[in-house]
Amino acid sequence: MVTKIYLIRHCQSMGNIEHKFQGQYDADVSPAGEKQLELLGLRFRNEHIDAIYTSPLKRARATAEAIAKYHDMEPIAEPGLIEIDCGRMENLLLTDVARLFPEVALNWDRSPDLCEFPGGETMREVYDRVNAALDRIIAENPGKTVVITTHGGALRNLYARIQYGEPIGIRKSEVFGNTGVSTLIAENGGLRFESINDLSHLPENMRRPPTNFSFDKLKEENII
């Protein structure tokens, strides 16, 4: 039995354009994000969908609702899909994160699986949480087609499990763009990507490659 899962990163938020380490801070959708949502909704208008699951945060829920409005269904809030709890780093400017938490910044660049966010989660805890949520959703929807709207950090942890089977795989993870669509197939107990980070619903001028953020790069550019 085949279950199809569309994994979608949320639309652009104000935190994205303000260069913040958002974590679970509930940032508003940006004007560009609103345009992304219109186009994402149209992309899925004629797709068969049985259920939509979303992180509770506004940027993810708005992404789910953009699709749900064409399917007469209510998105299901799944707390396990929420973004990383960054504790005291939450919603800080990236430059401030690098200055105040240099050890975490170093791990984020070189070994993100070892990150321990002060006052928040460890990356291992995030890995276990989001993958448990994925497993629950698959178990609830055998043979169906579902949409999941979540966050960049959550998606990197899902990718690590699906492609490498362990948290260290996050070091080689894809970087997911705002409203990027990845198609996941669950079959006979296995998981495989059919496509990753598809942005074809956006026009070329909005289809920028996702930013592979690096604290090391800030140092090279003398920003920190």
Active-site residue, from 10, 19, 71, 201? 10
Let me know if 50 is exposed, middle or buried by CB neighbors in 10 A (0-12, 13-18, 19+).
middle
Examine the residue annotation and report whether 48 is marked as an active-site residue of this protein.
no
The dihedrals phi and psi of 212, each to the nearest 5 degrees, come to -90, 85
The DSSP string of 36-93 is HHHHHHHHTTTS--SEEEE-SSHHHHHHHHHHHTTTT-PPEE-GGGSPP--GGGTTEE
Name the nearest CA neighbour of 152 among 4, 40, 16, 14: 16
Active-site residue, from 19, 48, 151, 201? 151
Examine the residue annotation and report whether 19 is marked as an active-site residue of this protein.
no
Contact criterion met (CB below 8 Å) for 39 and 202: yes
Contact criterion met (CB below 8 Å) for 43 and 119: no
The set of catalytic residues is 10, 151
